[in-house]
Structure 1
Amino acid sequence: MWQEVNFDGLVGPVHNYAGLSYGNVASASNKGLVANPLEGVLEGLEKARFLSGLGMVQGVLPPHDRPHISTLRKHGFSGSDAEILAAAWRENPALIRNVTSASTMWTANAATVSPSPDTADGRVHFTPANLAAMYHRSIEAPTTARILQAMFPEGQNFAHHAPLEGGTHMGDEGAANHNRFCAEYGEVGVALYVYGRGAFENAAELKFPGRQTREASAAVARQHATAPEKTLFARQSSRAINTGAFHNDVVAVSNRNSFFYHEHAFDSPDALEADIQNAMGDVEMQFVRVLESEVPLADAVKSYLFNSQLLSVPNRKGMTLILPREVEETASTKAYVEGLVSSGGPIGQAEILDVRQSMRNGGGPACLRLRVVLSDEELAAMGANSLLDDTLYETLKVWAKKYYRDRLMPEDLGDVKLMEESFFAMDELTQILRLGSVFDFQRG
């Protein structure tokens, strides 16, 4: 049996609104607000438990160790961790805000994953995203790689690749710009890589960065050795990027043979649909293209209509959309979803969940999860203790309430006590999840 497993990123104890992500409208507009890390992590856990309760196989991924003291050491700061943090905060608070970002909770950017039916060697392939476009995220890849290797041990079932080198020219933002189409999860699928610009072009029409390059997408596809006739590349429209769709999952989401997207998500949607259908062969695709007249692009970005999870829930007729509360609070998207689920199309259910702490920083339900298609054998071969059940859920709730604050401002990030709380929390979490020493502060 095959299933798509969603691994949700846990909101970190340093979750704050520093507004670091240029091109992410929500992040910029909420800069400086009071954050509630405890509320954020409990919202995420409740979302994961809800999906598990629907019958989905659900996992979790840990936040990273923040502040990232090893990065500060590379910048020439020395002494104890406390001395380094204090000195760096005095000298450059902006640097501290970057190395203390909790952005690792958006695990859609953690890696690109190709399931074993699609790869030449029949293993699940992982490439951690280099996230080169934004400094605060560019430091994530080494830790992400260690976590994924602990959870999916290299060998007969799983293969791991190094993050792409080449800086912003080879900018790779992970699964947020990757879709997979298939009839059933265990059958050979079609991979769609979406990019915002070419690595060596002058994308003058872009107001915000085109973070994913075509060359990076092609490199990941080569590493994973997917069949060329089953591997497609499409350009995200500059209109979508300039409106705030910094990743394609802000304007498009897929599941199996269904593709739900805004008409302005891509440069050439008609040609893209034809290419996908041709690659799918006898499997009929179901395209749900939302028109500007139905949902203005700005409303789609504001509400994160497409940054939803599109799921095949056991014992449900039609697919299910997992939507943020903001969709219900935006008139155009609320009306659209009501019509969508009653239309008799492929999407027959909609569930509204509250992930406001994440949403205010520009991450909806889809940002919070990494999708990994696994067979029963592959699921059994996993390492660590990351699959959610009632026991792990309750353990993580107790853990979060022990360490997390309910109020945090960007100016609190220089607090040595916050750093100590965070490191104690991460150390205990690695024991709960049985990950080993994946964080730099644990490795000396």
Structure 2
Amino acid sequence: MNAREYNFDGLVGPSHNYAGLSFGNVASFNNVRSASNPRQAALQGLAKMRELAARGYAQAVMPPQGRPNFRLLRRLGFSGTDADVLARAWREAPVILACAYSAAPMWTANAATVSPSADTLDGRVHFTAANLNNKLHRSEEYVQATRTLRAIFGNGDRFVVHDALPPVPAFGDEGAANHTRFAAGHGAAGVEFFVYGRVEFDPSAPAPKKYPARQTLEASQAIARLHGLDPARTVFASQNPDVIDQGVFHNDVIAVGNGNVLFYHEQAFADEAGTVDALRRALAGVEADLVPVRVAGSQVPVADAVASYLFNSQLLTRADGRMALVVPHECRENAAVSSYLNGMVGSGGPIEELVEFDLRQSMRNGGGPACLRLRVVLTEEEAAAMHGGVIMTETLYARLVAWVEKHYRDRIEPKDLADPQLAIECAAALEELTRILELPGLYDLS
């Protein structure tokens, strides 16, 4: 079956700011309350989308979510006009105001888990928006994420967009940041790989001691059931709790997969040998051979992997069947990582090419190239059935750049979140964006 992988990159919103809300995300915490540049952040993301589209990869845009989240603020007791709400929240609970202004939806790897039609029982593409209930600032993202996915993938004959799992600790779900698909080709039947950080109903299971484990086994199992996945082609594995405590808050900070290749750090999984063997056996069932690319701690310590986001890179299949690794510039600024990459490329392994991008604004907020994109495998018929206004083209790129330059500030400091004018600017920007992307009624900002 002919199919392509579409990367839906999150378009950075006009309120992009550094609030340091994500305990366990070292980069986010390191830049807490510093000044951000929303215009630069959005333009950096758009430049990446444009370049990858020009290289022949299927590229699309995931629109930002509405900010500030006035519904959250009013539910928490802040009342009056919008200006009153912002002023009181800034005065009495600035952290809650920062949560309402969170820039985190830009990382669409957390938006949902996606299973292509080649893997599902009913032959449709399945989506489940992540409930992200581990953090207040992310816990309401699923409302708009579900709304957006249903707007883009509204054809019920081809797509199913499930409601998010119950937003309780037992079903903590972080989306595709803890999910990878392996297959001989995008259109072939594949193996879906779920990585979890803890087990809710087994207190004896390993768990981190310092930072929270955000994904549960129970959530991963529920999504596999919802999507109608074949148990013989579904693998569950535990993260290494020790690396979670070193800042590996999602599996995509320590491992990335594509096709039949798993690029991973030796400390990624609680049972490295067992995990690799389970994937190898499952892939054999779909006539594919797993190609593990293992990075030893002696080559790249975990701290360097986290600082550079080496594994939070995109692994893409080129037209010639070889693979390209899309990395942030920070990988070249870290001596251990840069040395490893120099030795890897051209060594005869499956990764043939490095593609580097300046994503400094995203990196400072705790997300690299892989965080910015949601992978959606679509056949030609499915691609024709989705909303086409979000597909990246030169025309769309030019319109979005002009839109960013018109609406985005070049500096936001923490105190600016109390400015009613910023909220007005954000609403005006999103209203115009719905016309550009041809998605009327996308937002409910009441």
Give me the TM-score of the superposition, normalised by structure 1.
Answer: 0.97
Structure 2 equivalent of residue 374 of structure 1:
378
Matched to 1:318, the amino acid is R
SS in 2 for 1:116: coil
Task: Note the 1:77-226 alignment, pairs <5 A.
Answer: 77-202=78-203, 205-226=208-229
Q: Residue 314 of structure 2 contacts residue 369 of structure 2 at CA under 8 Å; is this kept in 1?
A: yes
Q: Distance in 1 between matches of 2:72 and 2:378?
A: 34
Is 1:248 the equivalent of 2:251?
yes
Q: Residue 109 of structure 1 contacts residue 173 of structure 1 at CA under 8 Å; is this kept in 2?
A: yes
Q: Identity percentage over the alignment?
A: 51
Q: Distance in 2 between matches of 1:173 and 1:100?
A: 20
Q: Residue 328 of structure 2 contacts residue 369 of structure 2 at CA under 8 Å; is this kept in 1?
A: yes
Structure 1 equivalent of residue 283 of structure 2:
280
Matched to 1:276, the amino acid is L
Matched to 1:133, the amino acid is N
Is 1:390 the equivalent of 2:390?
no
Structure 2 equivalent of residue 301 of structure 1:
306
SS in 2 for 1:378: helix
Structure 1 equivalent of residue 355 of structure 2:
351
Structure 1 equivalent of residue 263 of structure 2:
260
Deviation at residue 294 of structure 1 after TM alignment: 0.7
Q: Residue 197 of structure 2 contacts residue 207 of structure 2 at CA under 8 Å; is this kept in 1?
A: no
Structure 2 equivalent of residue 429 of structure 1:
433
Q: Distance in 2 between matches of 1:90 and 1:303?
A: 36
Is 1:361 the equivalent of 2:365?
yes
Return closer, same or farther for 1:211/1:238 CA change in 2, 3 Å cut-off.
Answer: same
Deviation at residue 439 of structure 1 after TM alignment: 1.9
Q: Distance in 2 between matches of 1:77 and 1:154?
A: 39
Return closer, same or farther for 1:380/1:205 CA change in 2, 3 Å cut-off.
Answer: closer
Q: Residue 41 of structure 2 contacts residue 359 of structure 2 at CA under 8 Å; is this kept in 1?
A: yes
Deviation at residue 83 of structure 1 after TM alignment: 2.5
Deviation at residue 204 of structure 1 after TM alignment: 5.7
SS in 1 for 2:245: helix
Deviation at residue 240 of structure 1 after TM alignment: 1.4
Q: Distance in 1 between matches of 2:63 and 2:414?
A: 22
Q: Residue 150 of structure 1 contacts residue 384 of structure 1 at CA under 8 Å; is this kept in 2?
A: no
Return closer, same or farther for 1:334/1:274 CA change in 2, 3 Å cut-off.
Answer: same
Structure 2 unaligned runs (5+)?
Answer: none
Matched to 2:181, the amino acid is R
Deviation at residue 87 of structure 1 after TM alignment: 2.6
Matched to 2:268, the amino acid is A
Q: Residue 207 of structure 2 contacts residue 241 of structure 2 at CA under 8 Å; is this kept in 1?
A: no
Q: Residue 384 of structure 1 contacts residue 435 of structure 1 at CA under 8 Å; is this kept in 2?
A: no
Deviation at residue 284 of structure 1 after TM alignment: 1.1
Q: Residue 324 of structure 1 contacts residue 364 of structure 1 at CA under 8 Å; is this kept in 2?
A: yes
Q: Write out per-residue CA displacement over residues 130-149 of structure 1, whole angstroms, 9 at most, x where no aligned residue.
A: 00001100010010000000
Deviation at residue 201 of structure 1 after TM alignment: 4.4
Q: Residue 26 of structure 1 contacts residue 360 of structure 1 at CA under 8 Å; is this kept in 2?
A: yes
Of 229, 236, 258, the match for 1:233: 236
SS in 2 for 1:295: coil
Q: Write out per-residue CA displacement over residues 156-211 of structure 1, whole angstroms, 9 at most, x where no aligned residue.
A: 10001110004122100000000100001111100000000011345664210000
Return closer, same or farther for 1:392/1:81 CA change in 2, 3 Å cut-off.
Answer: same
Q: Distance in 1 between matches of 2:79 and 2:404?
A: 31
Matched to 1:213, the amino acid is T
Structure 2 equivalent of residue 269 of structure 1:
272
Q: Write out per-residue CA displacement over residues 239-277 of structure 1, whole angstroms, 9 at most, x where no aligned residue.
A: 210111100000000011000000000011111111111
Q: Residue 155 of structure 2 contacts residue 385 of structure 2 at CA under 8 Å; is this kept in 1?
A: no
Deviation at residue 283 of structure 1 after TM alignment: 1.2
Q: Write out per-residue CA displacement over residues 324-345 of structure 1, whole angstroms, 9 at most, x where no aligned residue.
A: 0000000111011111111101
Q: Residue 198 of structure 2 contacts residue 216 of structure 2 at CA under 8 Å; is this kept in 1?
A: yes
Q: Distance in 1 between matches of 2:297 and 2:351?
A: 19
Q: Distance in 2 between matches of 1:169 and 1:139?
A: 17
Structure 1 equivalent of residue 11 of structure 2:
10
Structure 2 equivalent of residue 342 of structure 1:
346
Structure 1 equivalent of residue 417 of structure 2:
413
SS in 2 for 1:412: helix
Q: Distance in 1 between matches of 2:164 and 2:207?
A: 27
Q: Write out per-residue CA displacement over residues 202-227 of structure 1, whole angstroms, 9 at most, x where no aligned residue.
A: 56642100000000000111100100
Q: Residue 319 of structure 1 contacts residue 347 of structure 1 at CA under 8 Å; is this kept in 2?
A: yes
Q: Residue 317 of structure 1 contacts residue 348 of structure 1 at CA under 8 Å; is this kept in 2?
A: no
Q: Residue 150 of structure 1 contacts residue 436 of structure 1 at CA under 8 Å; is this kept in 2?
A: no
SS in 1 for 2:294: strand
Is 1:310 the equivalent of 2:315?
yes
Q: Distance in 1 between matches of 2:439 and 2:175?
A: 22
Q: Residue 130 of structure 1 contacts residue 172 of structure 1 at CA under 8 Å; is this kept in 2?
A: yes
Q: Residue 6 of structure 1 contacts residue 59 of structure 1 at CA under 8 Å; is this kept in 2?
A: yes
Runs of 4+ in 1 over 6 A off after TM superposition: none
Q: Distance in 2 between matches of 1:438 and 1:83?
A: 26
Deviation at residue 154 of structure 1 after TM alignment: 4.0
Give me the TM-score of the superposition, normalised by structure 2.
Answer: 0.97
Q: Distance in 2 between matches of 1:167 and 1:25?
A: 25
Return closer, same or farther for 1:436/1:12 CA change in 2, 3 Å cut-off.
Answer: same
Matched to 2:237, the amino acid is A
SS in 1 for 2:8: strand
Structure 1 unaligned runs (5+)?
Answer: none
SS in 1 for 2:56: coil
